[in-house]
Structure 1
Amino acid sequence: MLEGETVHQEVRQWFRETARELPWRGDCPPWGVLVSEIMLQQTPVVRVRPIWEEWMARWPSPAALAAAPPAEVLRAWGRLGYPRRALRLHAAAAQIVERHDGAVPDTFDELLALPGIGTYTGAAVAAFAFGRRETVVDTNIRRVHARLVIGQALPSPSLTAAEMALAAELLPEDPAESVEWNAGVMELGALVCTARSPKCGLCPVVEQCAWIAAGQPEPAYVPKGQPWAGTDRQVRGAVMAVLRAADSPVQAELLWSPAVELTADASHTGHPGEVAAALDRLHGLNTHAPQLQRALSGLVGDGLAQLSEAGYHLPH
C-alpha cells in the first residue's frame, strides 16, 4: 500500500520545485484557465502556448470573445486542430455573458452546463482557476496512477469507473493540497512518467512505484496513435486552411480541381498568395471525390463552413 501522505508531500514538493512556468498558471484569470484547458485537449503545450497568448491579448474576457464573428474565431484558432473546440468556446463565452454576467462560473456543476465543457474540463477549471477540491483525471494522471498504484505500464484504453474511484481516493482532503496534487501528478506524467520513455530516475516517488516493484512489466496492449495521412481529418484540415486564408467565398470548382486557376477576380482580396498555397496543399493530397465531398459536407454539418451561391466560406 502507498503511504498516501508521504506520496502527496513528495509529489507536491517536486511540483513546486520543477513545474514549468506556463502563462495559464499562477495569477492567470479564470477565463485564461478555461481557454487553456479547451486548447490543450489532444494538443501539446508547445503548439497551444503562442495561440493562447494571441487569444488572450485579443479576447481577454468572455464578453470580448462572444462579440467576435465566428469566422474570426476560427481564423485565430489556426492549426490547433479539432476546430469545433473554437466554436464551442465561442458559444461558452456567449453563455457566460448571458447567464453569469460575464464571469466564468466557479463550481463544477455550473461549468459542466457550459457548451463544450465535459467532466474533465469542468473539474480542471474548478480546481485550477478557483481552488476547488475536484477529481481531475487526464491521460497523464491516469498513467501515473496506473504505474504508481496498480503496477501496470499503461492505464486501460478507455477511462473506467475504477480509475475515477482511485483518483478520488488519492485526492487530499485539503482543497489547496488537492489542487497542487492534481497539478503535480499531471506534470509528473507529462515530463517524467511519459508513455514511451519514462525517466524513472527523476521521479520523486520511484521508491513507492508499484510498476517498478513489479519489474516494469510490458503493457497489456500496444497503444495505437491516431492516423493522419490520408484521413478525412487531414482533408478537412486542408479545406479549413483554404477557408481561413480567404476573405470571400471560395468557388467550389477551386476546391475540386487543380486545373482551375485562381483568377484575379477570384483572388480573395487580401490573401491571394495564402489562398493559392492552401489550395496547392489541398490538391497535393490527391483526395478522391467521395472523400472531399464527405469532408465538405461534414464541415458544413458541424457549422465550421457554410455554402452559398458564391461558394464555401467560414460561418458568419
Structure 2
Amino acid sequence: MLQQTPVVRVLPIWREWLDRWPTPADLAAASPAEVVRAWGRLGYPRRALRLHAAATEIAENHGNRVPEDHAELLDLPGIGSYTAAAVAVFAFGQHYTVVDTNIRRVHARLFSGKALPSKSLTAAETRLADQLMPEGREDSVKWNQSVMELGALVCTARAPKCDDCPVFDQCAWIAAGRPEPDYVPKGQSWHGTDRQVRGAMMAVLRHSPAPIPVDLLLTDRAGAEQLAARMERPEQETTDMLEKLWSLPAPPEQRERAFQGLVRDGLASRQGDEASLPG
C-alpha cells in the first residue's frame, strides 16, 4: 500500500484491511472484487490484485505466514527488490540495504552535497547506500529506520527543516551553500490522462452494487441522459460517480482505451454489454 502512496492516505485503509482480513488466508479467501472495492482511492489498483495474489501464495505455500527468506519474498507477486528488502528489514530485523526516495535524498544531501538524488536510482547511489550500511544487524536496522524517517520528516524534498536536523553540521549540501537541484521535480500528470479516466471508471464500478451497461462508461454527458434511462434506479453514489466520469473532457477513443486497459489488467470484467469489478 505504501508504494507510491504517503502514510497519511494508507493508514486508515490499512487498519480496515487488518480488521477485515487479519491473515493472508483471510485475504486470499476474498474475491478480487471485494479486494479492489476495499482498496478505495489509494490509486494504482493493480497493487490490490497483486497483494491478493501474494496472500494466496503465502496461504497456500508458506503456511499462512509471510516468508522471512529474502529470495522467497522476491518470488511473491508484486514484490520487487525494494519491498523485499523493506519487509526483510522492518518485519524480520535482517541486514539488507533499503533504498527509497527519502533515503536517497538524505544520502544525496548529507554525503554528496546535492539538493536532490538522481531522477532514477543509479548504480552509484546503490553503492553508496551499501557502503554506508553498518555491519551489525541491529545497527543496520536502526540505520535504515532512522535515515528513512529523517528524509520523511525533516530532510523533505520541498521544504527541508534544516534547523531541526541532527546532522546539520555534517551535511555536505549545507557546507556547499545549499546549491539548487539539477532539475525541477515534476509529479505525475493526472488531468486529461488515461489514468484519470481509468480512475473515474473504477470509482463507478466500486460504487455500483450490480453490473452496469458498458456504454455508460464510454459516453460523455451529452449522451448520458438517454443511456442512464437503461439503469433501474441506480444508487446515489453510483450516479454521483457516473456524473464525475461523464464530466471529463475525454474523447470516445480515450474512454474506450481506458476501459479496455482495465479489462486487460484484470481490474474490470465484461460480460456481454455489462461491466463490473472482477469476480
TM-score by length of 1: 0.85
2:64 aligns to what? 102
1:23 aligns to what? none
Match of 2:105 among 143, 149, 166: 143
Task: Report if the CA contact (8 A) 2:269-2:276 is conserved.
Answer: yes
Match of 2:264 among 301, 304, 307: 301
* Counterpart-to-counterpart distance in 2, 1:132 and 1:145: 21
SS at match of 1:150: coil
Task: Report if the CA contact (8 A) 2:198-2:259 is conserved.
Answer: yes
1:50 aligns to what? 12
* Counterpart-to-counterpart distance in 2, 1:186 and 1:266: 51
* Counterpart-to-counterpart distance in 1, 2:71 and 2:250: 44
2:172 aligns to what? 210
* Counterpart-to-counterpart distance in 2, 1:201 and 1:192: 9
Say whether residues 1:125 and 2:91 are aligned partners: no
2:29 aligns to what? 67
Task: Report if the CA contact (8 A) 2:192-2:249 is conserved.
Answer: no
Give the counterpart letter for 2:268 in structure 1: A
SS at match of 2:200: helix
Match of 2:225 among 247, 255, 259: 259
Structure 1: give runs of 5+ residues left out of the alignment: 1-38
Q: Share of identical aligned residues, percent?
A: 63
SS at match of 1:158: coil
1:91 aligns to what? 53
Post-superposition CA distance 1:191-210 (Å, at most 9, x none):
11011111101111111111
* Counterpart-to-counterpart distance in 2, 1:77 and 1:234: 17
Match of 2:39 among 71, 77, 101: 77
Structure 1's consecutive aligned runs of 4 or more residues displaced over 6 angstroms after TM superposition are none
Post-superposition CA distance 1:216-274 (Å, at most 9, x none):
11111111111111111111000000000112211022222322354485345xxx111
* Counterpart-to-counterpart distance in 1, 2:109 and 2:174: 8
2:187 aligns to what? 225
Output aligned runs, 1:271-310, within 5 Å: 272-310=235-273
Compute the RMSD of aligned alpha carbons: 1.2
* Counterpart-to-counterpart distance in 2, 1:227 and 1:214: 33
Output aligned runs, 1:168-183, within 5 Å: 168-183=130-145
Q: Return the offset for 1:310.
A: 4.1
Structure 2: give runs of 5+ residues left out of the alignment: none
Give the counterpart letter for 1:117 in structure 2: I
Task: Report if the CA contact (8 A) 2:154-2:161 is conserved.
Answer: yes
Give the counterpart letter for 2:52 in structure 1: H
Using a 3 Å threshold, how does the CA distance of structure 1 residues 309 and 273 change in structure 2: closer, same or farther?
same
1:36 aligns to what? none
Task: Report if the CA contact (8 A) 1:262-1:276 is conserved.
Answer: no
* Counterpart-to-counterpart distance in 2, 1:266 and 1:205: 63
